[in-house]
Amino acid sequence: MEPKADRSLEKLRPWFRQRVEQLLATHPEVAVHEAWRSEERQAYLRKTGASKIERSKHQDGLAVDIHFKEAPHFPKSSDLRWDPVRRTAHHLGIDNGWDLWRWDGNHFQCAYNLKEWEYDFMDWAVENGITNGDDPKSPITLPRLMGLFKKFTNYIKNGKA
Ligand SMILES: [Zn+2]
């Protein structure tokens, strides 16, 4: 039997979840079809050929599959309906399957390959409002650093940034 797709955003990494929420808020025409994925479901999808890889970013809580609310729900990867969604995703640090490997156009995943401890710190900082998590690989400027100090001071004083 097919293990069910998890559509809730709850098991996504908090940092990535926030980016996905922004994507959905910008594009009310789409919805999440699948978010986090269990090992059992990934093994099942491999067996059926729906997935070609052993480990997907879904299992790490760093990918979502998206569909359109109105039919056709899954337009072809090259369909122009995807373009504005892809553009917004790109600005949010989210890659699309079509851009990555020319298929799987409804697949969206975290564009960054961070180390586990880097994800942990980003999750913590985003959950506590210290950063919105934009562009984690960019060099930090003095104004950004001062902004972080200010938010962190608020966090220490008031328990929230
Ligand atoms: Zn996917």
Total domain count, the chain: 1
pLDDT tens track for 6-41: 999 999 999 999 999 999 999 999 999 999 999 999
Q: Tokens standing for 155?
A: 């966090």
Mean pLDDT across the chain, nearest whole number? 93
Residue 122 lies in a domain: no
Summarised one tens digit per residue, pLDDT across range 90-132 is: 999 999 999 898 888 999 999 999 999 999 999 999 999 998 8
pLDDT at residue number 53? 84
Nearby residues of 110 by Cβ (< 8 Å), 6 or more positions away: 13, 16, 19, 57, 62, 63, 93, 94, 95
Residues with CB under 5 A from ligand 1 (ion): 65, 107
Question: Could you tell me the distance, in angstroms and rounded to a whole number, from the CA of residue 35 to the centre of ligand 1?
Answer: 8
What is the Å distance from ligand 1's center to 139 Cα?
30
What's 96's domain CATH number?
A: 3.30.1380.10
* Residue 25 belongs to domain spanning: 14-110
Across 83-157, where does the E strand assignment appear? 94-96, 107-110
Tokens of 104: 């799987």
Domain assignment of residue 106, yes or no: yes
What pTM value is reported for the model? 0.90
Q: How far is the CA of 112 from the centre of ligand 1 (A)?
A: 16
Q: How far is the CA of 125 from the centre of ligand 1 (A)?
A: 26
Whether 161 shows a pLDDT value over 90: the answer reads no
Q: Which of the pair, 86 or 136, is modelled with greater confidence? A: 86
126 CA distance to ligand 1 middle (Å): 24
